[in-house]
Amino acid sequence: MRTAPTILHLDMDAFFASVEQASKPSLRGKAVVVGGLGPRGVVATASYEARVFGVHSAMPMGQARRLAPNAAYLVPRFNLYKSISERVMELLRALSPLVEPLSLDEAFVDLEAGGVAWDEPSARLAGVKLRADIRAVTGLRGSVGLAASKMLAKIASEEAKPDGLVVIEPGTERAMLGPMSVRTLPGVGPATGDHLRRAGITTVEEIVEAGEDELVRLLGKAHGHGLYAMALARDDRPVVAEREAKSVSVEDTYDVDIHDRTRVGLEVQRLAERCVRRLRGAGLSGRTIVLKVRRYDFSTLTRSETLRGPTDDPAVIREAAARLLDSVDTTGGVRLLGVGVSGLADYTQEDLFAQAAGERAVAEGPVEEHAAAAAEEQPSLAERRWPAGHDVRHTEFGHGWVQGSGLGRVTVRFETPDSEPGRVRTFRVDDPDLEAADPLPLVLRGPDGGDGVPGAGSQAVSSVPASLPKSWSGSGGGAATSRP
């Protein structure tokens, strides 16, 4: 096990909400909640200003609205978040060939493998520079933890939040972990935490005092041994550069249960096509088609079918999903549907096209019918949807974003990432001068096309409430390090 703190964990601060604040000057310093806005929606991310009211990720959106009724509630813009994430990951890969992404906004980096850090001072310098580079390239802030293992690096980044850097120096690990809650350790969720609490174990130091044999008795051999090792700050897991995808899937939760069997079938076909687009976008194919159905009573059923070989053919996957649906009783209604493909490969067996209905010519009929139906379903001007938070452009007023819509009206605030807070105007939903638009860059480009410094608006971005206390350790690289 290494001793130098050369494992880095980066966690972008309130990522989705921070992106929205950076792109919308009127929301900077305000409570922002991103997630599904329907009756069954959940919070994806809440800004630090919203967290003051008790709003947090995975909370039902209805509960969030009760806690923070005056917050801005926005529909996620995943394509924008993904593009910004890719730029952050590029910065990480410039540091080391060993980068292990955990999500769009979180990753481990082995700095020693990249030759950029070998001891505490060099690791700290790399962390400070990374945070500055992320700020320059994206206009956003991230928290960095540095330690000798992945577990400790992640704990350090949590201590650094928001907008800070914490280094766990060799020899201090046990003293730092001791008073922390058992829930700090990986693998200790609510159930395990409650089980340990009933046994009188609430802190990491109490795990050590209880001893390995007692942990095994309480939690079983594998979990007991593992948890005891982590309590002693032992974690030999390496940073893995490429995590092999196990499956590709898409799913939708519906605001109102779907009872009509024909509608359920059409939704499954639509999900199958979305899944194929994602599959092809990743350059993959798969052998096993999986259907997920959550019924009105919250019972969840999964059905799967394994093909003779991997495919990315939309007709094959649509038909397999339809066959799987035939085996599911949807009486009473459906609240969630999902289609996935597993058993992934990076090649396709051409002979599998025959499974689409025996012959390509036969299969083309349903494909064309589906395309025609999709074309007929294109909304008219009066039927256009205007998701809250999404970008629009008006012929006269320029770029803006949707504040809300309803009763045939859509309200738009016209502003850009580097402008002052903009003015609000309301239009009819069928206004021909108003159209959906692509997001604007959060950071102004330099005259040579490279990354410039954040624009006037971006420089003002801060999702860190002034009331948060200073941390006991770490370095903000010019910014205060605070606990969550």
Catalytic residue positions, numbered: 106
Q: Give the separation between CA 190 and CA 183, rounded to whole angstroms.
A: 8
Q: How many helices (H) and strands (E) does the chain have?
A: 15, 17
Sign of the CA dihedral running 85, 14, 37, 261: positive
CA distances from 439 to 79, 417, 443 (A): 9, 10, 12
Place of tokens 């962390």: 127
- Number of alpha carbons in the 13 Å side-chain half-sphere of residue 399: 17
Q: Give the separation between CA 412 and CA 75, rounded to whole angstroms.
A: 14
DSSP notation for 20-53: HHHH-GGGTTS-EEEE--STT-BEEEE-HHHHTT
By C-alpha distance, which of 417, 420, 411, 416 is closest to 398? 416
By C-alpha distance, which of 214, 8, 217 is closest to 93? 8
Q: Three-state SS for 411?
A: strand
User: Is beta strand 398-406 parallel, antiparallel or unpaired with respect to 391-394?
Assistant: antiparallel
**Token digits of residue 346:** 């990076």
